[in-house]
Chains A and B, each alone.
Chain A
Amino acid sequence: MADNLQIAVICGSFRRSSYNAALARALPGLAPPALKLTPAPAIEKFPLYNADIQNSTGFPADVMTFANAVRAADGVIIVSPEYNWTIPAGLKNAIDWTSRMKDDPFKAKPVAIQSCAGGLLGGARMQYHLRQCLTSVESVILIRPEVFVNFSAKKFDEKTLELTDQGAKDMVKLQLEAFEKFVRQHTGKN
């Protein structure tokens, strides 16, 4: 029987009614049975990266908690909005912190990316920058299928924020199925 795969889900937005957070919450219902998805520990309260903090008081406890969760996971899914045509600062700050660790948790980690955005491009600019950034920390990034939930306001239930758009749900399912294979291939898990 196939091993279960532990997947940490990181959301790049911190606001409560975020569409990206809503997408992250929709994933367990769309994932193949062996993919066990858990939200990653919060990154919102990390201080802004400053090497002087690292060198005086060390890595903050919540940075360590986050890093350990990423290390323990077989794979990571990042669900993020696009801010000013690129990666939201909070998400970039989390990567900046963990990138300074001796045992960088993102190194060789299988990663899949998803984004929701109100506009036509669905966060594409953010995704390609995030790929560039994850390349610097030597993650292995799933290429296809890509998930861009564009015009996101129309694709979630206005009240419950449930993902209602069938096309988006199908695309997410396809990505999660592909990601399961990708994670098995890169971790050697059966």
Chain B
Amino acid sequence: MADASLSVLTICGSLRKGSYNAMLQRALPALAPSGMTLKPAPSFADFPIYNADIQNTTGFPAAVNALADAIRAADGVIIITPEYNFSIPGGLKNAIDWVSRLQHQPFAGKPIALQSASPGPVGGARVQYDVRRAMVFLDAFTLNKPEIFVGNCVSKFDEKTGELKDETTRNLIKQQLAAFAPFISRVAGKG
């Protein structure tokens, strides 16, 4: 039997309030299978830009430890992110760069799923493959399929409420979350 309750952390790669990726992140709990609880990760908005000299003098900032602890405590992590300049947004990469330096690197062995929303037709594919690559280095296990690329995203959310209204997208996300639950159990050896 699959694990009865899974706690999944969601990390959003955009920091702006009106972000489509933040809207997507907020849509997830309603689309998750029963037994899966999703909660937003502590913010990385105020992390300093990574510099080993900070780490070696004053240590890891408290906010970095808070994010790392939340990742460690979660059964799985979903990263929902825009694509900036064909790749990973600096802020998200900075969060990864900081936590990657911790002794108990929190992404090691962690099940990961990726989603992206973008106004263009490619839907953030390039950022996803770059995050996958960084996650390989960090020894995380990234779910292969289904992939979620919310392309032409402006038309897929309600302009006023920010609600994800596109039915096809909602169904795909449901499928991804339904696939993520057994993936987490398998990675955790609870098959």
Question: Which A residues fall within an 8 A CB radius of B?
Answer: 13-16, 43-46, 48-52, 83-90, 92-96, 99, 125, 129, 132-133, 135-137
Contact = CB atoms under 8 A, between A and B. Distances in A.
Contacts of A129: 87, 130
Nearest to B53: A15
11 contacts: A14-B53, A50-B16, A50-B45, A84-B137, A86-B88, A86-B133, A93-B94, A96-B89, A99-B84, A132-B87, A137-B85
B49 A44 contact: yes
B94 A89 contact: yes
A90 B50 contact: yes
Given A86-B93, A90-B90, A125-B133, A15 B85 contact: no
Interface string B116-146: 0000000000100010011011100000000
Given A15-B52, A93-B49, A136 B85 contact: yes
Contacts of A52: 15-18
Nearest to A94: B90
B97 A89 contact: yes
Contacts of B18: 52
Chain B: number of interface residues, binned into ranges: 20 to 34
Contact of B91 (A50, A88, A94): A50
A52 B52 CA distance: 28
A83 B51 contact: no
Q: Which of A43, A51, A94 gathers the greatest number of chain B CB atoms within 10 Å? A: A51
A136 B14 CA distance: 19
B98 to A, nearest CB: 8
B133 A15 contact: no
Contact of B88 (A14, A46, A92): A92
B60 interface: no
Contact of A48 (B88, B94, B126, B134): B94
Contacts of A15: 51-53
The 7 nearest A-B residue pairs measured at CB: A93-B90, A89-B94, A48-B91, A50-B15, A89-B93, A136-B86, A14-B51
B112 interface: no
A92 B133 contact: no
A16 B56 CA distance: 11
B7 interface: no
B100 interface: yes
A145 to B, nearest CB: 24
A141 B87 CA distance: 17
Contacts of A13: 51-52
B133 to A, nearest CB: 5
Contacts of A85: 133-134, 136-137
A132 B126 contact: yes
Q: Find the residue from A14, A48, A49, A132 having the highest chain B CB count within 10 A.
A: A48
Contacts of B94: 48, 89-90, 93
Interface in B77-103: 84-91, 93-97, 100
B150 to A, nearest CB: 18
Given A85-B137, A86-B133, A92 B90 contact: yes
Given A93-B49, A135-B86, 13 more contacts: A14-B51, A46-B49, A48-B44, A48-B91, A49-B90, A52-B17, A84-B138, A85-B133, A86-B87, A88-B93, A89-B90, A92-B90, A129-B130
